[in-house]
Amino acid sequence: MNAKRSTRVLLILIIGLFISGMCGCKHYVGVEWVVDYSAVGKWSPPLRDDCAQGFYTAICAYPDWEGKFDRGNANAWEEHFKRASMGGTDANWIDDVDIAYFAGHGAGAGSIAGPTGVGRGGGFTFGVDAHDDWVLAAIPGNREPRWGDKDLEWIVLDVCSALAFKSDGDDVLYTLCVRWANSDVMHGLHYILGFRTLAHDDGDRGRFFAEYLTGVRDGTKYTVREAWRKATEDTEGYTVQGAYLRASSPGCDTYDDHIYGCGSVSDDPDPTSQCYCYSSWPCN
């Protein structure tokens, strides 16, 4: 009898520990950045590491948040952002965290041939032509990301023009909906945060964004969309436009999303019925 009781108590203890582990669960942040683009022919912006790592450090300082990866330069790989069905490993990287930040160069205008040629806003670029290639493309026929089907809720693309409209220039080859605002790419993802225009190489933006999210800046824990707007206002000028794109479905409105532990968070939008909401603003 004593042995049976002891076993029961032990079982209850184990289950209790398991449940408490779930309730006090951690949330994860991952960042990737590229300063050195010399191997692929682009110029090297010196502050991309400060930007992404500033975000990483500030989020990790917040309770119940833990850093999962901080990868830069030749260790920042396109395959980390790419879906498994196309040879990527995003389930172990970008989609294995709750919030991700990429700081580097966007994709410029290009010819159709080859892995570039995605047009302005059609993707973003890495410093090595390896571990797949140096362009993460989100264009018809080569839609490489599929985010949110595992863990990822919010991703920052701190690059030029990721959220440009086709009407913004002849070098934007595809519409926003064909690139990002579709259930293929946003498959459980709440937000893509970025820029509609060219953005500058700034080393503080990531930290500012995190400080607005976590209340460190002025005591208010801002929503994800507010915090990104404010971080871009602080670090850019009137010629630059910040932007976000969010998915939303009935019962899952992401408008008032905070990050975990800082306020309300919507459930993942249902990709089969979600709509897409976009906002852009001058960074004055």
Partner 1 sequence: MKKICLLFLLSGALFLIETARGDAGLYASKNEPELPESLALASFKLVHPLPKVPEKMMVYKTIDPKISREDITKLMKTFGLEGKIDDRQRQFVVKDQNRVLEVFKQPGTGYLRFSNNTKLAIEKEAKNLPSEDNAIDEAKKFLRANDLLPENTFLAGVGYYEFRKYDSIGNTIIQGKSAVSIGFGFKIEEMKVEGPGAKAGVVFGEDGEIIGASKIWREIEPDKEMKIITPEEAFDKFKQRWPGEAEPEQFKRAKIKTEVSIKEVYVTYYAKPGCVPQDYIEPVYVFKGDYQTSSKIGEREIKESDYFEIIIPAIPEK
Smallest distance from partner 1 to CB 123, Å:
11
160 belongs to the binding site for partner 1 (CB under 8 A): yes
> How many angstroms separate the first and last alpha carbons of the chain?
74
Smallest distance from partner 1 to CB 120, Å:
8
In angstroms, the CA 282 to CA 233 distance is 8
In angstroms, the CA 64 to CA 132 distance is 33
Q: Which is nearer to partner 1, 99 or 283 (CB)?
A: 283
Residues 164, 196: contact at Cβ < 8 Å?
yes
Span from 1-9, 19-27, 79-87, 228-236 in contact with partner 1 (CB under 8 A): 228-236
Please name the amino acid found at residue 261: G
Q: What residues between 231 and 250 interact with partner 1 by CB under 8 A?
A: 233-239, 241
73 belongs to the binding site for partner 1 (CB under 8 A): no
Phi, psi (rounded to 5 degrees) for 226: -65, -45
A 10 A CB-CB count for 17 gives 10
Residues making up the chain, counted from first to last = 284
Q: Which is nearer to partner 1, 149 or 171 (CB)?
A: 171
A 10 A CB-CB count for 157 gives 26
Strands 65-72 and 99-103: unpaired
* Residue tagged 């196309």 (tokens): 86
Per-residue b/e over 99-114, b at no fewer than 16 CB within 10 Å? Answer: bbbbbbbbbbbbeeee
Q: What residues between 105 and 144 interact with partner 1 by CB under 8 A?
A: 105-111, 113-117, 120, 128-129, 133
85 belongs to the binding site for partner 1 (CB under 8 A): no
Smallest distance from partner 1 to CB 217, Å:
8
Q: Which is nearer to partner 1, 100 or 160 (CB)?
A: 160
Binding-site string for partner 1 from residue 30 to residue 69, where x marks contact by CB under 8 A and - marks none:
--------xxxxxxxxx-----------------------
Which residues of the shown chain bind partner 1 in the complex (CB under 8 A)? 38-46, 105-111, 113-117, 120, 128-129, 133, 160, 171, 175-178, 181-183, 198, 200, 202, 204, 208, 218-220, 222, 225-226, 229-230, 233-239, 241, 255, 272-284
